[in-house]
Amino acid sequence: MAELPADRILLRGIAARAVVGVYAFEREASRPLSFDLELACDLAPAGASDDVADTLDYDAAAAVVHAVCAELAPQLIETLAETVAARLLGLPRVAAATVTVHKPGAVTGVEDIAVRITRRHDSAPSV
């Protein structure tokens, strides 16, 4: 298994809306979600060149989140996380993606629930 780059690009608090949930009332309208992304990329070329072409397109990464939320209406936030991670791995330079999906207010008395997954090109799901 190839070693991952130590470098990371972090996108925190990507606000999105999606229809997600098991219960009928959750299926009636989209709800606010928040996504955090941690993308393993080799950033040395960009650091050396100071050229945007040598790094990850941050807008493209955020757009993946918005596209998945617009296309899917899953029961589980786990499904959103898996789909976002798979698509992020399709972006140039991304060797691994950690995706956290926050679903605030999903459980009464709990401020936030979240799932976090890490996926990489050359491995099974990570724990």
Catalytic residue among 93, 103, 119, 120: 103
103 is catalytic: yes
Q: Which DSSP category does 120 fall into?
A: E
Torsion angles phi and psi, residue 106, rounded to 5? -70, -30
Sheet holding 96-102, edge to edge: 8-18, 31-40, 96-102, 114-120
Q: Is 66 exposed, middle or buried (0-12, 13-18, 19+ CB in 10 A)?
A: middle
**H-type alpha helices, 1-127:** 44-49, 58-71, 77-88
Q: Which residues have a Cβ under 8 Å from the Cβ of 25 and sit 6 or more positions away?
A: none
The residues annotated with a catalytic role in the active site are 103
